[in-house]
Structure 1
Amino acid sequence: MTPLPRGFRVTPDQDTKQLTAELLFGGSPARVLRLTEAGQAAWRELADGPVASAAAGVLARRLTDAGLAHPVPPEPATPADLTVVVPVRDRAELLDRCLGGLDGRHPVLVVDDGSADPAAVSEVAARHGAKLVRRDVNGGPGPARNTALDHVSTDLVAFVDSDCVPAPDWADRLAEHFADPLVAAVAPRVTPLAPDTAAGRYTRAASSLDLGDRPARVAPGTRVSYVPTAALVVKAAAVREVGAFDPELRFGEDVDLVWRLHKAGHRIRYAPDVHVDHHEPSTWQGLLTRRARYGTSAAPLSQRHPGLLAPLALHPWPTLTVAALLARRPGLAALAFGGSVADLVRRLRADDIPADGVVRAMATAVHQTWLGCGRYGTQFAAPVLAALLLRRGWRAAAASLLFGPPLAAWLKQRPELDPVRYTAAAIADDVAYGAGVWAGCLTHRTLEPVRPALARRLLRTDPKGKR
C-alpha cells in the first residue's frame, strides 16, 4: 500500500469512534478497523502531528481510503502549475462574472463550444486576458474540455463552468491535495447561487450539485460516490491516461470520468472547505427540466459501469422490518428487528468487538431503509403510490413513502420554504429525475438503473488476529 506522504495530517471523520485501544468504527461503507500494536502507535503519532514515519503513512492511507479520516495537505512549497479551463456556449454575461472571480495567477483558456454569438464570447475572453479556442460545432461540456486538454501543457487543469463564480484562490487551495501522488482529482463544494424565488429557495436547500459540508474520498458505493465537473481540479496526465471525457455522454460525463479514474487506482477527493458558487435556474420549469436531463444519464452510465449505479441498496433485516411496518404487521416487524439485532451482536462478539449501541445502529438502518424506499418509490413509481393513496388499506403506507422522506429532510434542514411547498417541490424533483431515468432506460433498452441491489452486510469487520 502506498503510504500517505510525510507532512500530511489526518483529521478523523465526524462519525469515527474509537471503541477500544485497538478498534476504530466509522467510514463509508461503515466498518470496524482493528489496529495492531504498531497500528496503535501509528494512530497516536497521527493524533499528535503530521505523518513522520512509514507506519503512520500506511495507516493514514488506510484510514483516508476507508473514510475513517481525511487528509490535510501540507503548505505547498511552490505555486501550482495550473491552467484554468472554462467551457462556454454563449452566456457571455455569466462568463464575464466567472472570469472576474479568478485571481489572474494562472493562465485561463476559454473554449467556445459553438456559440451562436462568438463575438460576445471573444470580447469577454479578451477583456480578461484569457486565451480563446473555438469549436465550430457544439459537442457539449465533455468534448469542450477534451479540446482544452489538447491545448494545455501544465500538470494540473482546473475546470470551471461558465455559470460558476469561483473564489480567487479556489484552484490553488484544491491543488494542495496533489502533494499526494495518488490523487487525480479534487472537487470543491458547489454552492447554489439562486434567485429569491420559490424555486430558488428550494434549490438552496436541495441542490443536486451541493454534496454537503463533510470531506470525503470519492468512490462508487460510498457516501460521496461522484463529484460534478462544474468545478474540478485534475491531474492532466491521469485524465489523459483514462481517455479523458466520453464524447458520447451529454450528461453524466463527470460521473463516468470519476469512476474511470477510481478504477485506474487514482484517488479523488471532495474538499468542501473550498466553495464555488453556481448559478441555478430561477423557475420550476428550468429546475425540473435540468433534473430530468440528469436522469437520462443513468442508463448509459449503467452500461459503462455495471453494478455501480443501483438506485437503492436493500439489506435483508432492515428491509423485512420496514416491509412489516408498512403492511401494519407490528409483531412481524418486532421479530425482524430483534433478529437483526441478534444477528449483528453474534457477528460482533465472534470477532471480539463490543456490541454497545447495536439497537440504535439497527434502528438507524431501518430509518434509512424507509427513507430510501420512499425516494425510490417516488422517483420510479409515483403514479402507483398516488393510486394507493385512494385505497383504504394502503393509504397510510403510501403516504408514508411519498411524504415521509421530504418531510424528514425539511425537519433536518429547516429551509426557507414552508413544509408543504418544500414537500411538493421535493416530490416534483424526484418525479422529474425518475422520468429522465425511465426515458434513458427506454432509449438504451435496459432496466439496470431502476433495479435495486441486495446488500448482505451492514458492517465490515476485521476478524480477530488479522494483521
Structure 2
Amino acid sequence: MSTPRLPDGWTVRPDPRTWRVDGGATWIGGSPPRVLRLSAAARGLLAAPELVVGTPTTAALARLLSDAGVAHPVGGDGPGPDEVTVVVPVRDRPGELERLLAAVVATAPGLGGIVVVDDGSDDPGRTEEVAGRHGGRVVRHPSSRGPSAGRNTGARASTTPVIAFLDSDVVPEPRWLHTLLAHLGDPAVGAVAPRIVAWADGGPENPVTRYERRRSSLDLGARPAPVTARSRVAYVPSAALVVRREAFGDGFREDMPVAEDVDLVWRIAAAGWRLRYEPAARVAHEHRAAVRAWLARKAFYGTGAAPLARQHPRRVPPVALAPWTAAAVTLLGVQRRWSTAAAGVVTLVATARLARGLRKPGEPWIVLRRGHTPHESDVRRQHGRSADTVGGPVPLALVLAPWGLGGALWQAAGALTRHWWPAAALGALVSRRVRRAVAVAAVAEGLADWVRFRDTGAGPVDAVLHVAAHRADDLAYGAGLWWGAWRHRTVAPLLPDLSGKGPDG
C-alpha cells in the first residue's frame, strides 16, 4: 500500500536519546541505531523543538523521522470511542471479567460496543450475567478454541472500524483509549498498543512480583516507538491492542497458541501499515506471582520462537550482528592475548572504514528541495552535550564503532545466558574458558539489567534477588525455545544473523 501523508497540524518531537551532532546536520538514534545526515533545508525545519506538519515537505520529513524512531508523532484527532468495539475473550473468569468491564466502562464511555467471547466456560451463565451488567454482548464457543479464535470471533461479531482487544486479566487506566485513538488519526497507522504495567492489587510482594513489575515480558518500557521487527519494540502483546479493522486482515492465526500477537503485528507491518507503541496509555496486567506458574509462562513464551522463525525468516535471531562486530566478539571470546589484540585491530579497521564512509562527498541522506530557507539557530543541547561536541567523521566514527561493539557484546551475553544456555552449559562442562565466559556474562549482564531497572534506593540484597530472577527467566525461556525448536524440527530460532543487514536485506 502507498503511505498516506501525516495530517496537517501533527507534530513530531525528537526522541530524548537521539544524538544530534555537527550543528544538527547528523542525527544518530532509533532502533536499530542509524545515522541520518540532513540537508541544510531539513536542518532549518528541525531547528525548533518540534516539527509541525503543514506542507508536503514537512509531512515527508516527519514521516521519515518517525519511521526511523529518532522522533515521535504527538498525535492528533483520531476516531471517537463510538467507532470502537472492545473485544474480550474469556473462559471461566467471572471475577476478572467483572473487574475489567467495570474499568472499561469507567475509562472509555461512549463505546460503540463490548463483545465478550465466552470460550467454552463451564458456567456460561455467569459470563452472561457479568457482561450484561456492563452493557456487553456475549458470543459463545461451545468448546474452548483458544484466545486467538475468541478474538477473531469477537472481531467478526463487531461492525465498528476500530477493534480494541483486551484480555480478561488486564485493567485499563484512565484515558488509555483516547490516547491510543489519537494515533489512528494518522491514516497510515494500522495498530497501536499501550504500555502494559503491573496491576497494583495491594497484595504481598515477593521477588517474582517485584521482578515482573520492573521488567515484565509484556512491559515494553516508558519510551514511545514504532513497532518493527528486530528493533527496541519488535512486537506488542495482544493483552491490550487497538487495531484498525481495515488492517486486521485475516486476524490472529488460530493454530498458534503462543506468539500469535507477534505474528499478527508483523503481518500488518508487511502489508505496509505503520504500528505505534504509546506508553502514555497504560493498561495494568495481573502478573503471575507463584514461581512455578511464572516459570511455566516464560517457557511457554519461548516455544513461540520456532513457529515465528519459520513463518517470518530472519526476524527472530538470538543475535543480529555486523560481520566486524561478530568477528570482534568471537576474538574476545577466545580469551587469549593475541585474540584480544586482534579484536582491537578489527575495531580500529572498522572505525577507519566508518570514518571514510562518513567523509564521502555527495548529497545528504535526507534532501529537501522545496525552497525552504534554513534557520540560523543551532540544535539544543541533549544529554549534557552540545550538538557540536562531536564534529567531523573521525571523532564521530570513534564514538559509533565502540558503541556498536558494546551493543554486540550485550547481545552475545544475553544469548549465551538465554537462547543458547543449554549449549553453553554443555560447553562449560569441558572448557574452563566457556565456564569463565558464561560466569562473566551471567553476572555482568544480570547486574547491568538490575542497574537499568532498579528501584531508587535498592541495595545489594535487591540486586542479588533481581539477578537470580533474571537468570531464572532466561533459563525458562531458553528451555522453552529449545523444546519448541525440537518439536518443530527447526534450528532457525537458534541461528545468529551475521549479515549486518535488516530482516528484509
Length-normalised TM-score, structure 2: 0.85
What is the aligned counterpart of 2:35 among 23, 32, 37? 32
CA change 1:309–1:386 in 2 (3 A) is closer
| Distance in 2, Cα, partners of 1:450 & 1:90 | 37
Residue 447 of structure 1: how far off its partner (Å): 0.8
Aligned counterpart, 2:26: 23
Provide the secondary structure at the position in 2 that maps to 1:179. Answer: coil
Q: Distance in 1 between matches of 2:305 and 2:435?
A: 31
The AA in structure 2 aligned to 1:88 is V
Which residue identity is paired with 1:455? S
Cα offsets for 1:109-154 (capped at 9, x unmatched): 1111111222222221122221111111211111101001111111
Query: Any residues of structure 2 matched to 1:40-439 within 5 Å, and which?
Result: 40-44=43-47, 47=49, 50-76=52-78, 81-102=83-104, 103=106, 104-106=109-111, 107-193=113-199, 196-239=205-248, 242-328=249-335, 329=337, 330-351=340-361, 354-386=393-425, 391-415=431-455, 418-439=462-483
Task: Kindly indicate whether the alpha-carbon contact (under 8 Å) linking 2:79 and 2:182 is maintained by their aligned counterparts in 1.
Answer: no
Report the more deviating stretch, 349-358 or 127-136: 349-358
Greater mean deviation of Cα atoms: 391-400 or 66-75: 391-400
Helix, strand or coil at the partner of 2:121: coil
- Rounded to whole Å, the distance in 1 between the matches of 2:81 and 2:472 is 46
- 8 Å CA contact 2:418, 2:477 repeated in 1: yes
CA contact (8 A) 1:370 1:401 kept: no
Cα distance, 1:71 vs structure 2: 0.7
Query: Which runs of no fewer than 5 residues in structure 2 stay unpaired?
Result: 363-391
Question: Cα 1:351–1:274, aligned 2, differ >3 Å: closer, same or farther?
Answer: farther
Corresponding position of 2:366: none
* C-alpha displacement of 1:219: 1.0
Q: Distance in 1 between matches of 2:114 and 2:159?
A: 12
Query: For residues 23 and 314 of structure 1, what CA distance do their matches in structure 2 show?
Result: 23
* Greater mean deviation of Cα atoms: 151-160 or 316-325: 316-325
Q: Cα–Cα, structure 1 residues 444 and 365, in superposed 2: closer, same or farther, change >3 Å? A: same
For residues 394 and 9 of structure 2, what CA distance do their matches in structure 1 show?
A: 36
| TM-score (normalised: structure 1) | 0.91
Where relative contact order (Cα < 8 A, 6+ residues apart) is larger, the structure is: 2
Matched letter for residue 351 of structure 2: V
Provide runs of 4+ in structure 1 moved above 6 Å: none
Q: Secondary structure at the match of 1:380?
A: coil
Q: 1:383 to 1:32 in 2, by over 3 A?
A: closer
Structure 2: how far apart are the matches of 1:90 and 1:78? 32
The CA deviation at 1:386 is 4.0
Shift of 1:358: 2.9
Question: Which residue of the partner structure matches residue 498 of structure 2?
Answer: 454
C-alpha distance in structure 1 between counterparts of 2:433 and 2:19, whole Å: 43
Q: Aligned with 1:340: secondary structure?
A: helix
Aligned length: 455
* Aligned sequence identity (%): 40
SS of 2:418's partner is helix
Structure 1 CA distance, aligned partners of 2:314 and 2:51?
Answer: 40
Matched residues in 1 for 2:432 and 2:311: separation? 43
Say if 1:293 and 1:332 are closer, same or farther in 2 by CA, change over 3 A.
Answer: same
* In 2, Cα distance between equivalents of 1:414 and 1:58: 39
Instruction: Give the Å deviation of 1:388.
Output: 5.3
**Aligned-residue RMSD, C-alpha:** 2.2
**Take 2:438 and 2:470, find their aligned partners in 1: how far apart are those partners?**
16
1:298-324 superposed Cα distances (whole Å, 9 cap, x missing partner):
111112111211121122222333333
Partner SS for 2:293: helix
Give the aligned residue type for 1:129.
Answer: G
Sort the Cα spacing of 1:396 and 1:171 in 2 relative to 1 into closer, same or farther, 3 A. Answer: same
Could you tell me whether the CA contact under 8 Å between 1:39 and 1:55 is conserved in 2? Answer: no
- Structure 1: 5+ residue runs without aligned partners? 459-467
Separation of aligned partners in 2, 1:6 and 1:63: 16
The answer (yes or no) to whether the contact 1:38–1:55 under 8 Å persists in 2 is no
The Cα shift of 1:457 comes to: 6.2
Q: Is the 8 A contact 1:19 1:354 kept in 2?
A: no
The whole-number CA distance in structure 2 between the counterparts of 1:233 and 1:393 is 48
SS of 1:200 mapped into structure 2: helix
1:57-99 deviations in Å (ceiling 9; x for gaps): 1111111111121111124585551111111111211111111
Aligned partners of 1:310 and 1:451 also within 8 Å: yes
Deviation at 1:375, TM superposition (A): 1.8
C-alpha separation between the residues in 2 aligned to 1:16 and 1:130?
Answer: 44
